[in-house]
Amino acid sequence: MASSLGLTFHRCRIMHLFPPLRSQCGGQRHANLDPLRTITLAKKHVKLSSMSSYGSSFSPQLLTCSSLVSSILPCRFATIYRSNNKPRPERPKAQTTIDEEEIKKFSALANLWWDETGEFEALHSMNSLRVPLIRDALKDKMAVTEDYNPLMPLQGMKMIDIGSGGGILSEPLARLGATVIGVDASEDNIKTAQAHLRQDPSIVCRVKYIHSTVEDLVITEENKFDALVASEVVEHVADVDVFVECCCKLVKPGGSLFFTTINKTPMSYILGVLMAERVLRLVAPGTHDWKKFISPQDLMFLIENSGCSIRLLHGMKYQPLSKKWCWTSDTSINYALHAVKNKEQNH
């Protein structure tokens, strides 16, 4: 009897220390999914392209839909800014994607966004993967004209960067010619991004930062963007279902969506939380909540349920010693996803 109680106590301690193990030992792995969704997920199968033999400099070959005809209206910047700075009634908690604790956490780090060897070093390094991923997926949609500039392959593209933070990703995309709107729920992050943007006059006219949320932007900007990026954001929102749905609504039919986030696995808890935060100190303790991580299958379900088709899913691997990212076929921790909004929407 004493031995049995001892084993039970030991097992409970392990479950407490490692939530992922608790999920797989009798807990509900997909507590946020209804039975119908679970059945649907079980039937889905997405074939991953094999890229494990390539280094971090390799840009994945993407499947693309037919070319888009982009219509960029610079004056939309002012319209969007004005419409999203008008006083608006407070949204009920059940209808917002904002997690106030997450906002406070990142607002406190606002002045560290552009310290490339500090708190956000891994995000700066991630640009070596995500910028080529976005560039190569979108440039194939661009019609080659007489004034085409190979140094600015995204010229004419209207993009929105959700959870733009200090502008780490928005600025490189603008340098490739895109017109970018960075959106963040933290006013401190927006101020930091705006201050840094002024250091590069060459892209000031192509970048605009807005203190807002995806659910508020949908009201005036539905179907307005050629591409949307939500990189390392999904794992910080309060309602991922609403967040993904709103993201899909902002993109034009035929437009692209790019997500990077963290899988919900025991390995992501051990390496992405325990090692990254408490041992290697790559990010501040408490940066991530494993319960908010989402599997590729769950994210793909939400995206496809919002009228989009998956074009690419692939793993990303961070190497602490070299402080660089590389592509991998393993999606058990970090992964990237590219989707395209269906041109024919079912109403």
Q: What is the pLDDT along the chain (347 residues), one digit of tens a residue?
A: 544 444 444 444 444 444 554 444 444 444 444 444 443 444 444 434 434 333 344 444 343 333 333 333 344 444 444 445 555 444 443 356 767 777 776 677 778 899 998 888 999 999 999 999 999 999 877 766 667 788 899 999 999 999 999 999 999 999 999 999 999 999 999 999 999 999 999 999 999 999 999 999 999 999 999 999 999 999 999 999 999 999 999 999 999 999 999 999 999 999 888 888 888 777 778 788 999 999 999 999 999 999 999 999 999 999 989 999 999 999 999 999 999 999 875 54
Q: What is the pLDDT of residues 46-65, one digit of tens each?
A: 434 434 333 344 444 343 33
Give the CA distances from residue 246 to residues 219, 256, 307, in Å, rounded to whole numbers and listed in that order: 10, 14, 11
Q: How far apart are CA 137 and CA 311, in angstroms?
A: 10
Whether pTM exceeds 0.85: no
pLDDT of residue 241: 96
The model's pLDDT over 156-206, given as tens digits with 9 standing for 90+, comes to: 999 999 999 999 999 999 999 999 999 999 999 999 999 999 999 999 999
Dihedrals phi, psi of 233, to nearest 5 degrees: -125, -40
Does the annotation list 136 as a binding residue? Answer: no
Answer yes or no: is 235 a known binding residue. yes
**What 3-state class would DSSP assign to 168?**
coil
Question: Binding site annotation covers 236?
Answer: yes
Domain spanning 72-86+93-341 has what CATH number?
Answer: 3.40.50.150
Q: What is the pLDDT of residue 55?
A: 39
Give all strands of the β-sheet with 251-262 in edge-to-edge order.
207-211, 179-184, 158-162, 225-231, 251-262, 334-341, 308-319, 324-328
Q: Please check if 231 is assigned to a binding site.
A: yes
